[in-house]
Amino acid sequence: MEKIILTGDRPTGKLHLGHYVGSLRRRVELQNSGEFDKIFVMIADAQALTDNADNPEKIRQNIIEVALDYLSVGIDPAKTTIFIQSAVPELTELTFYYMNLVTVSRVQRNPTVKTEIKMRNFEQSIPMGFFNYPVSQASDITAFKATTVPVGEDQAPMIELTREIVARFNNVYGKVLVEPEILLPGNAACLRLPGTDGKAKMSKSLGNCIYLSDTAKEVAKKVKGMYTDPLHLNICDPGHLEGNCPFIYLDAFSRPEHFAKYAPEYASLQELKDHYVRGGLGDGTVKKLLINILEEELQPIRERRQQYEQDIPAVYEILKKGTEVAREAAAATLDEVRKAMKINYFDDAALISSQVEKFKK
């Protein structure tokens, strides 16, 4: 069986370091591993509209921001198909059929949807489209017969639901669809990178993000302002690592070779941590190390972004080409789906002749 990746992001803002360690970095590794036959990365504009119906301009503006972020981290359009969700109407059609295979109470139990309903104050009146987005996400995945979906852990309930829909569909209509596997980020810090304020997650509304498109100066300023250990008042005080942002970021970003290069007094991150816990290591020193490490990673990304920014029409062309490729793949699956669901009336010669027989006097 072919190994196929499908993943994507809602274009509601520029992408940040949470996206980077949670998914983007991994996507580039997977892309370059040569292990996958096809890779699709989708800009989920239709899903973004499910809770931004009255703000279409925001989505429109962020399509290009997300595309630039993708290209600048190293997603290569020669290896990965980047496309726009709304321009593949087969996905909408498939969603309409899947809705018959899912109950309202099943979606109501989805913990990610539950949290989002609270966050958006939708408790009293949930837009139908928003409530249905997990079903639509199942279409996104299965239309491409994806075997592997690299996403953050908050997306796990969507993959679970997708697998249920696939099982149900294949059981009722015959084996057409492929059950996907989730691929979670490797380490705990990457699973849920906190915002610079130490709050649960980076989020634009909390203003605690470091963006991939931030300048070196902005990154340094944000790191210097990071939440650390409120009890670590003097350098000589023993420090605590739990919830300490610079250390969590070091967990997510540092590699052994960084220490030789930027902090040769320490053989490893563990030694640095030990020193901090013992006392005698200042937050400023840790932050300076983090800034160096982040810069090493972000600088090439920033440079590539600037190049693409010089040729925006070419970026739209990449999206257009990718969307054509994606549409063809989804259309092929939809042909199979319609046939399995017995709604392919016009290309079923056997149906027509059997009806002829039926009505013969």
Contact positions toward ligand TRP, by CB under 6 A?
A: 6-10, 44, 47, 137, 140-141, 149, 151, 155
| 11 token code pair | 């274009």
As measured in angstroms, the least distance from the Cβ of 9 to ligand TRP is: 5
* Residue appearing with tokens 């196929």: 4
As measured in angstroms, the least distance from the Cβ of 132 to ligand TRP is: 12
Q: Which is nearer to ligand TRP, 137 or 208 (CB)?
A: 137
* CA 122 vs CA 54, 102, 109, 136, 156: distances in Å: 15, 21, 15, 19, 22
* CA 99 vs CA 94, 140, 145, 169, 233: distances in Å: 9, 14, 18, 11, 56
Closest CA to 293 of 19, 1, 94, 21: 21
Phi, psi of 155 (to 5 degrees): -90, -5
Q: Which is nearer to ligand TRP, 154 or 251 (CB)?
A: 154
Q: Which is nearer to ligand TRP, 146 or 281 (CB)?
A: 146
Q: Which is nearer to ligand TRP, 177 or 223 (CB)?
A: 177
As measured in angstroms, the least distance from the Cβ of 329 to ligand TRP is: 14
| 312 token code pair | 């925006």
CB-closest chain residue to ligand TRP? 44
Q: Which is nearer to ligand TRP, 9 or 214 (CB)?
A: 9
Burial string for 304-331 (b: 16+ CB within 10 Å, else e) reads ebeebeeeeeebeebbeebbeebbebbe
Q: Which is nearer to ligand TRP, 167 or 235 (CB)?
A: 167
As measured in angstroms, the least distance from the Cβ of 255 to ligand TRP is: 27
CA 289 to chain centre: 28
| 60 token code pair | 């429109």
Phi, psi of 43 (to 5 degrees): -90, 110
| 137 token code pair | 């996400």
As measured in angstroms, the least distance from the Cβ of 42 to ligand TRP is: 6
As measured in angstroms, the least distance from the Cβ of 61 to ligand TRP is: 17
